[in-house]
């Protein structure tokens, strides 16, 4: 992959170590630490002169090496990036990967796509795309990042021709981080708004509601009757009314939270509550990443497990409601003719890449904090 200039000491069979001056050292991925030293260096790691720069090699362990003062097992345990740091343990990396792969896209987008693309029949193209596209790319990026110990930009030093791919990943991750924080901002807003005795989006008797608002819980008079009518003259007026009903939750979101205007030229005003929630979301992100993987690795113990607790509670509550089985059957009844449509397969592929986060750069970056072995 690269070559070094100048003389290089040849290791003896007993030592198996190589050491080069800093000007002659070559590493395929800068930032990796070393486990090998030259014949000129003393046999003790602590007494090795600082003049020599370590070069990563992968020499097999042998009893002779241990006898000369270098213990391969200790070097393997310390084979980590001292500048960028590493995950505290393997569980932190696993939980981070699970939290990264299973996110909001699985909660709000997958049920909608499943219902639109044939119900249970959508699972067939979904699992086909998952097995043959999603999982291979997922593990390929993890392996790439762990081997290189570099982020989505530095990893392409192995082939500078593809460095633009790394910049593309960085741009995509930047935009995703911006709009995902907006989603978190909205979640914070609804969380704070729900701390009332009566939910503001449950009824239509609020100042922002329109006459078209129709809530399920609103009281309404139902009348049924008949009245004969006799027409003895000319009919001069004919009335036809079409009512476009909207839910109170929709009007709360559109007319109160966002305060959307009907005119594109009217930009409206800054919604201070939303701005405050957005600031809170960015502060939370900052606190989670303030120490890199050392802090985020501890946060994932909560963020990667608590959503499953909430989803389990909602699932148990949903399946115990009256008519739940009928709704589930209506939702999952397969329409096998749908799998012949190309759009269904496209939606399955997009959901896989959207859910797993492939080609975003996040998988490479997270795996780069793993130890090499």
Partners of 20 in the β-ladder: 53
Count Cα neighbours of 372 within 13 Å in the Cβ-side half-sphere: 20
Question: Each residue of 137-153: b (16+ CB within 10 Å) or e?
Answer: bbeebbebbbbbbbbbb
**DSSP 8-state code for residue 153:** T
Q: What DSSP string runs through 225-260?
A: --------S------------B-HHHHIIIIIIS--
- Using alpha carbons, list the distances in angstroms from residue 293 to 89, 178, 265, 299, 306: 11, 20, 45, 10, 20
Radius of gyration for the chain, computed over Cα atoms and rounded to the nearest angstrom: 31
Candidates 356, 371, 360; CA nearest to 105 is 356
Whether the Cβ atoms of residue 165 and residue 157 lie closer than 8 Å to each other: no
- List alpha helices for 117-162, DSSP H: 123-129, 135-148
Candidates 301, 305, 299, 292; CA nearest to 369 is 292
Whether the Cβ atoms of residue 110 and residue 331 lie closer than 8 Å to each other: no
355 annotated as ligand-binding: yes
Rounded-to-integer distance, Cα 155 and Cα 29, Å:
7
Direct distance between the N- and C-terminal alpha carbons of the chain, in angstroms, rounded to an integer: 21
281 annotated as ligand-binding: no
234 annotated as ligand-binding: no
101 annotated as ligand-binding: yes
Query: In what helix (H) or strand (E) does residue 75 lie, and over which residues does it extend?
Result: helix 72-77
Residue keyed to tokens 């003049």: 51
For residue 127, the tally of other CB atoms under 10 A from its CB is 13
205 annotated as ligand-binding: no
- Using alpha carbons, list the distances in angstroms from residue 257 to 127, 190, 203, 208, 275: 38, 9, 15, 10, 11
* Secondary structure of residue 359 in the 3-state scheme: coil
- Binding residue positions: 99, 101-102, 106, 355
Which residue positions form the known binding site for Na(+)?
A: 99, 101-102, 106, 355
């Amino acid at each position: 992959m690269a070559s070094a200039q100048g003389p290089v000491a040849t290791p003896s069979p007993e030592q198996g170590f190589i050491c080069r001056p800093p000007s002659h050292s070559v590493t395929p991925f800068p930032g990796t630490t070393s486990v090998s030293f030259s014949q000129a260096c003393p046999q003790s790691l602590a007494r090795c002169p600082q003049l020599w720069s370590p070069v990563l090699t992968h020499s097999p362990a042998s009893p002779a090496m241990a006898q000369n003062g270098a213990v391969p097992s200790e070097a393997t345990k310390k084979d980590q990036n001292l500048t960028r740091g590493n995950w505290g343990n393997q569980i932190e990396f696993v939980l981070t990967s699970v939290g990264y792969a299973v996110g909001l896209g699985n909660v709000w987008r997958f049920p909608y796509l499943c219902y639109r693309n044939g119900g249970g029949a959508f699972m067939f193209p979904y699992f086909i795309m998952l097995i043959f596209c999603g999982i291979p790319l997922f593990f390929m990026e993890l392996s790439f990042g762990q081997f290189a110990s570099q982020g989505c930009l530095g990893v392409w030093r192995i082939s500078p021709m593809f460095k633009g791919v790394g910049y593309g990943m960085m741009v995509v991750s930047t935009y995703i981080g911006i709009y995902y924080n907006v989603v978190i901002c909205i979640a914070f807003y609804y969380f704070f708004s729900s701390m009332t005795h009566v939910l503001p989006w449950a009824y239509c008797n609020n100042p922002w509601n329109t006459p078209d608002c129709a809530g399920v819980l609103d009281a309404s008079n139902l009348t049924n009757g008949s009245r004969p009518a006799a027409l003895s003259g000319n009919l001069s007026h004919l009335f036809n009314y079409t009512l476009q009903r909207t839910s109170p939750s929709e009007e709360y979101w559109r007319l109160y939270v966002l305060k959307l205007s009907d005119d594109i030229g009217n930009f409206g005003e800054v919604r201070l509550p939303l701005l405050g929630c957005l600031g809170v979301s960015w502060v939370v992100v900052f606190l989670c990443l303030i120490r890199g993987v050392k802090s985020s690795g501890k946060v994932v113990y909560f963020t990667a497990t608590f959503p499953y607790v909430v989803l389990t509670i909602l699932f148990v509550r949903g399946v115990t409601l009256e008519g739940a089985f009928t709704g589930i059957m209506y939702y999952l009844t397969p329409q096998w003719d749908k799998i012949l449509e190309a759009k269904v397969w496209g939606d399955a592929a997009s959901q896989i890449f959207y859910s797993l986060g492939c080609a975003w750069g996040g998988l490479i970056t997270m795996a780069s904090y793993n130890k090499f072995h």
